[in-house]
Amino acid sequence: MPDGATVAVPNDPYGVAVAATRAIVRRGAKRLHLVCVPTSGIQADVLIGAGCVATIETSAVALGEHGTAPRFAHAVRDGSLRVMDATCPAIHAGLLAGVKGVPFMPLRGVIGSDLVAHRADWKVIENPFAAGDPILLVPAIRPDIALFHAPRADRHGNVFIGRSRDLLRMAQAARESFVTVEEIVDGSLLQDRDRAAGVIPAVYVSRIATAPRGAAPLALPGHYDPDAAALARYAQAAKTAEGFRAWLEAWLAVEAAAA
């Protein structure tokens, strides 16, 4: 993952590539433009705290029941992070435009809000088919990389995501998709008629790596639940820069020892 890349990541319940995030931090990635689809939590907070992110495009960053994302909040306050504030529908509309290969997607529901004034790349025009009807145009989002975790892939490069349609849209919109999986199986996932609708075809997948429990401490639906205690420990530690650095060093050291 090159420095300066635009990287799309999913929200917490749907296959966050935490193991890959650890590798990104260890490499020392810089100046990433993080696109959250449509929100993020500990993944974005860790990347921001580690100094990997220059810009974030999102509708929210939070730790759910564990409260505010501390390093995100700190970076917003001290001005070290550029925030492109959005809404969930706007993120999805931009990705859909990226999927379709069109420059923008029209959207309603945001006109009149403060968001429009703060997003110079969003344009309000008059509906060409109805006078006096303003419509918002959201530019296409074409990430360099879609990064996510999934239950399994096959040896042909197809990836099973189940009901997580956000992951399919991310992969279709992005130039490349980097995917970690719980396991790689023999045969073709696309040959299973009952599950083929939940498979991303290999044409949209660039790289696959096995990473058992690669979304932990977050959940992977149908496989394991979130580790609430681990998330609570992070939320407490990350309240200060010193606490975050201590947590990060320990987090990186655990993987290094296991390797």
Could you read off the pLDDT of 18-43 as tens digits, one per residue?
999 999 999 999 999 999 999 999 99
Cβ–Cβ < 8 Å for 59, 39: yes
Share of the chain above pLDDT 70, in %: 98
132: in domain = yes
Q: Measured between alpha carbons, how far is residue 216 from residues 19, 67, 117 in Å?
A: 8, 18, 38
70 and 115 part of one domain: no
- Judge whether 181 and 202 are in contact, CB under 8 Å: no
Count CB neighbours of 172 within 10 A: 18
Is residue 255 pLDDT above 70, yes or no? Answer: no
Secondary structure letter of residue 203 according to DSSP? G
For residues 180 and 17, give the distance between their C-alpha atoms in angstroms, rounded to a whole number. Answer: 7
Q: Please tell me whether the peptide bond between 217 and the residue prior to it is cis, using omega within 30 degrees of 0.
A: yes
Q: Does residue 133 belong to any structural domain of this protein?
A: yes
CA distance 218 to 11: 10
Shared domain for 155 and 212, answered yes or no, is yes
Token pair of 250 as six digits: 């320990």
Give the CATH number for residue 26.
3.40.1080.10
The reply to whether 74 and 169 lie within a common domain is yes
Range of the domain at 110: 104-139
Structural domain contains residue 259: no
Segment 140-174, tens digit of pLDDT = 999 999 999 999 999 999 999 998 899 999 999 99
- Residue at 199 is within a domain: yes
Whole-angstrom Cα distance, residue 237 to residue 231? Answer: 10
Is the model's pTM score more than 0.75? Answer: yes
User: Could you tell me if residue 95 is inside a domain?
Assistant: no
Query: What domain count does the chain have?
Result: 2
Question: Is residue 259 pLDDT above 60, yes or no?
Answer: no
90 occurs within a structural domain? no
**Are 148 and 225 found together in one domain?**
yes
Handedness of CA 102, 108, 113, 117 (dihedral sign): positive
Q: How far is CA 259 from CA 26, 151, 208, 249, in A?
A: 13, 22, 18, 15
Helix (H) or strand (E) holding 17: none
> pLDDT tens-digit profile of 203-212?
999 999 999 9
For position 258, what pLDDT does the model report?
44
Give domain status of residue 49, yes or no.
Answer: yes
Number of neighbouring beta carbons within 10 Å of residue 76:
16
Calpha distance 164→13 (Å, rounded): 9
Q: Which residues pair with 56 in a beta bridge?
A: 34, 83
Q: Greatest CA separation found in the chain? A: 65
Indicate the SS3 state at residue 204: helix
Tell me, yes or no, whether 158 and 231 share the same domain: yes
pLDDT score at 254 = 79
